[in-house]
Amino acid sequence: MQVLITRSAMKDIEGLEPENRSRIIGVLDRLALQSRAMGLRKVHGMPNTWRLRVGDWRVILRLNPPIIYVVRVKHRSEAYR
């Protein structure tokens, strides 16, 4: 699958500390290779929206096979607002 990062998600990633940024980018690289084995969970009440946990950070995704759109990257306290 192909992973595309939206402009808002790219801003979120650029604003992270370097160690968190590298962890999330590494996870997104692995996601392109094995999307179903990564522990994706459905976001309730939002159609076609999934989340991926990376420590205290949540990567919000929209699936439209064969493309995965990274919509936002937020701290768990802000991710679902």
Output the domain CATH number for residue 33. Answer: 3.30.2310.20
39 in Cβ contact with 58 (< 8 Å): no
User: Which pLDDT value is given to residue 81?
Assistant: 75
Structure tokens at 34: 């094995």
Report yes or no on 8 lying in a domain.
yes
Query: Is residue 81 situated within a structural domain?
Result: no
From CA 62, how far away is CA 68, in angstroms rounded?
6
Domain membership of residue 41 (yes or no) is yes
Q: How many domains does the chain have?
A: 1
What tokens appear for 18 in the block? 């370097």
- Nearest-Å Rg of the Cα atoms of the chain is 12
Residue 72 pairs in a beta bridge with 60
Range of the domain at 47: 2-75
Domain annotation covers residue 42: yes
| pLDDT tens readout for residues 2-52 | 999 999 999 999 999 999 999 999 999 998 888 666 788 999 988 889 999
Residue 61 has pLDDT above 90, yes or no: yes
Q: Report pLDDT for 33.
A: 87
Q: Is residue 40 part of a domain?
A: yes
Domain membership of residue 58 (yes or no) is: yes
pLDDT of residue 39: 84
Task: Identify the pLDDT of residue 70.
Answer: 97
Query: Does the residue 32 lie in any domain?
Result: yes
